[in-house]
Amino acid sequence: MILVKIRIMKPRYLFVLLCMTHTGWTQAEIYKHIDADGHVTYSSSPMKGSKKLDLELLPTMSPPVRVRNSDASPSDFPRVDSNTQKNRDGTRRKILEDELAAEEKLLAEAQQNLKDGKGISETSPKKMKALQEQVSLHEKNVDALKSELTNLK
């Protein structure tokens, strides 16, 4: 009798019916096995000495809505006029230039300290290494500040 009714059903109803009955097959059984050495193995098929895990279904949610334009801002996002932004950029440039000048001065001092340290024969290797690290640190800072200044508009 069921076969006769399925034959008479429209294909889309048959598809929906099959999908509804198939949902129970999607959850697999998971087994956990721990061997004598303590290695843990998870499997979908039972093994000797394995235990079936009862896992709760994970909650699902729809993916977040993506904005097509990556430059788009929310409507309530604060806006800044171009003159204000130019002033801010100018202030930032001035701060970076001041930091660069200070860092170049510290680099020159660190290089001088390293040169003076090499002239003294009793200077320890640890002190020499510390002086070299100071020079390297200030060189990296100068490079980073110059890079940041070139990236400004």
**pLDDT tens by residue, 118-128:** 766 566 888 88
Q: What's the pLDDT band for 56 if we cut at 50, 70, 90?
A: confident
Is residue 74 within a helix (H) or strand (E), and if so which, with residue range? Answer: none
> Which tokens in the block code for residue 23?
């949902």
Contact 135, 129 (CB under 8 A): no
Q: What's the pLDDT band for 47 if we cut at 50, 70, 90?
A: confident
Domain ranges of the chain: 83-151
Contacts of 14 (CB under 8 A, 6+ apart): 6
In angstroms, rounded to a whole number, what is the distance separating the alpha carbons of residues 98 and 92? 10
CB atoms within 10 A of CB 71: 5
In angstroms, rounded to a whole number, what is the distance separating the alpha carbons of residues 25 and 41? 23
pLDDT in tens, 130-140: 889 999 999 99
In angstroms, rounded to a whole number, what is the distance separating the alpha carbons of residues 125 and 145? 30
pLDDT: is 79 or 120 the higher one?
Answer: 79
Q: For residue 111, which phi and psi values (nearest 5 degrees)?
A: -65, -40
Taking the model in full, what pTM does it have?
0.48
**Which strands sit side by side in the sheet containing 40-43, from one edge to the other?**
40-43, 30-34, 51-53
| Number of residues written out for the chain | 153
Q: What is the pLDDT of residue 6?
A: 47
Amino acid, single-letter form, for residue 30: I
